[in-house]
Structure 1
């Protein structure tokens, strides 16, 4: 059974936030997070866990956010995917132990009322040659979404949807469908220097 994930994950990406006014390119990352990821969903067939690194090199701009919002509203998920893939400068990357990493195309930081922050990340997901040649149903879930919530000390938790479908209904409400039975849980999230 496939569940619709709460819309909060991507909806925040499409709301106005003053947190990112322009591209911030850094010689060294502006944000580096480590987390322990636990996948208890049915998609893997078994429970998997391990550490991941999320590195942010720049925050996405309001212009990029507006382009993605317009692409989804006017052309649907395929248009959103193309617009996301056209973003020239990756916002950062994600990697697990022993991997080279995968670029993250969109990242926004949103301050919270308790002095913490919320970090929303969206990207196209990697598709292996085997997956592409077999044409399974997972190809209908081309997005990877990450929602991290940090307290004022830079510690927190989050969720990762490695296979997500993003649509907008006739009222332009963003709907997110997770391929797996539940998101990957990100625990022990910490800022690292």
Structure 2
């Protein structure tokens, strides 16, 4: 058994490290905005049709956090998007910026939420989940109804296009390839215009009267 002095020395050495771990700041949270809610319904282009989605964006992802997400999900040369050990676990450790609800209490955490405005007053909104949509469904993760599998195994990219009246459509990586742009910290669907529409009747829900 070590001498008491040796035990004391070990405690003294570890104590500063423990104090540092407790005092270390948590990862920077994304910038905070008012809650925004979007709704849409899956179309026949998705393996699971007629699901009403409710999307709650708690905050939009800041530049630094977008870069962190892109560094995780951008595939290395020769890899397929969404592959790699512990990718899903690493995504789950990132700050949550919202949720996608696919019915009842079943929700998927958002780890990336970014929007850009169009010249005509519309918006492009891109979301990334920490798990593939449909993960807990009986038939497994959602895919394209044409037999095309999801573009990523560990997450889903959802892209919404809204007009100036806050109405539009959505497409997802369940049946469309993903385009990554790490230098800009952005991600989206490749060749959006030619992809099938996966979400119809998409709209931004008006805020409650108390928030107007």
TM-score normalised per structure 2: 0.57
Answer yes or no: is 1:160 the counterpart of 2:167: no
Q: Which has the higher strand share?
A: 1
Match of 2:57 in 1: 56
Of 63-72 and 89-98, more deviation after overlay is shown by 63-72
Answer yes or no: is 1:69 the counterpart of 2:81: no
- Name the count of aligned residue pairs: 152
Distance 1:67 1:160, change over 3 A: same
Q: What is the RMSD computed on CA atoms of the aligned residues?
A: 3.7
1:22-101 pair list within 5 angstroms: 23-25=30-32, 30-41=35-46, 44=47, 48-71=49-72, 72=74, 77=81, 78=84, 81=87, 83-87=90-94, 89-101=95-107
Aligned partners of 1:125 and 1:162 also within 8 Å: no
| Separation of aligned partners in 2, 1:103 and 1:95 | 9
| Separation of aligned partners in 2, 1:147 and 1:123 | 12
Aligned partner (choices 141, 144, 160) of residue 153 of structure 2: 141
| Separation of aligned partners in 1, 2:155 and 2:53 | 18
Distance 1:80 1:157, change over 3 A: farther
Structure 2 regions of 5+ residues with no counterpart?
A: 1-28, 141-148, 181-186, 208-212
Larger Rg: 2
Match of 2:199 in 1: 186
TM-score normalised per structure 1: 0.61
Structure 1 regions of 5+ residues with no counterpart?
A: 1-21, 132-136, 169-173
Match of 1:103 in 2: 109
SS at match of 1:68: helix
